[in-house]
């Protein structure tokens, strides 16, 4: 019930208050970064080193690359009915945001051109869309949980800085359509 209600609220906010809603998402994402970094350094008792910025920089570039990818993808992706394999793929990719702290599933789905399809499916409980995406999300969660477990065990600080860079790069996906 909460997912349906929240899905409808988000759909309404995007339809009537697109810029403030996008700014809210950006603020929530950026607001989580200092906490993420401070927790990483306190757990591992290591001081900041300048080379950590490289992880952030390269991941930031990856986030920008996703923005370019979104602009290159055909604009009709939001208007055609997606296939079941594509929905499974979207769910698989969406699980990155479920598993990696600070990475937004919404932004990933926006990159893939399926965020509004997903939002509509949640608000109307369209299981034809939700089941394949759920299958992909479960499969992706297993794969990415194993990956993040390995990375955080052996490279905790580097992984955190890479996540921060990805988040910083990916928020630009929310900005291009804004007109102030």
pLDDT tens by residue, 19-76: 888 888 888 888 878 877 776 666 555 666 788 888 888 888 877 776 676 566 554 4
Helix axes 18-44, 156-170, angle to 10 degrees: 170
Q: SS3 string of 34-84?
A: HHHHHHHHHHHCCCCCCCHHHHHHHHHHHHHHHHHHHHHCCHHHHCCCCCH
**What residues have CB less than 8 Å from 7, skipping those under 6 apart?**
119, 120, 122, 123
Q: How many Å apart are CA 29 and CA 106, to the nearest integer?
A: 11
CA angle 90, 161, 63 (to 5 degrees): 40
pLDDT in tens, 104-158: 787 788 777 788 888 889 888 899 999 999 999 999 999 999 998 898 889 888 8
Q: Residue 138: what pLDDT?
A: 96
Q: Residue 179: what pLDDT?
A: 44
Q: How many Å apart are CA 101 and CA 49, to the nearest integer?
A: 21
Dihedral (Cα; 80, 85, 91, 93), 10-degree rounding: -100
pTM score: 0.62
Q: What is the CA radius of gyration of the chain?
A: 17
Q: How many Å apart are CA 128 and CA 147, to the nearest integer?
A: 29
Percentages of the chain per state (helix, strand, coil), in multiples of 5: 80, 0, 20
Which two three-digit tokens encode residue 177? 């359509």
């Amino acid at each position: 019930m909460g997912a349906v209600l929240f899905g409808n609220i988000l759909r309404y906010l995007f339809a009537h208050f697109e810029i403030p809603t996008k700014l809210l998402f950006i603020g929530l994402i950026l607001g989580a970064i200092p906490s993420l970094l401070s927790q990483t350094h306190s757990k591992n008792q290591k001081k900041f080193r300048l080379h950590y910025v490289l992880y952030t920089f390269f991941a930031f570039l990856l986030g920008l690359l996703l923005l370019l990818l979104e602009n290159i993808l055909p604009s009709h992706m939001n208007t055609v009915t997606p296939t079941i394999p594509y929905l499974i793929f979207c769910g698989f990719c969406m699980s990155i945001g479920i598993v990696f702290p600070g990475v937004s599933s919404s932004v990933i789905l926006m990159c893939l051109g399926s965020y509004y399809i997903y939002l509509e499916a949640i608000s109307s409980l369209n299981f034809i869309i939700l089941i394949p995406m759920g299958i992909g999300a479960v499969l992706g969660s297993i794969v990415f949980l194993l990956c993040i477990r390995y990375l955080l065990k052996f490279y905790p600080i580097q992984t955190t800085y890479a996540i921060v860079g990805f988040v910083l790069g990916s928020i630009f996906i929310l900005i291009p359509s804004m007109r102030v």
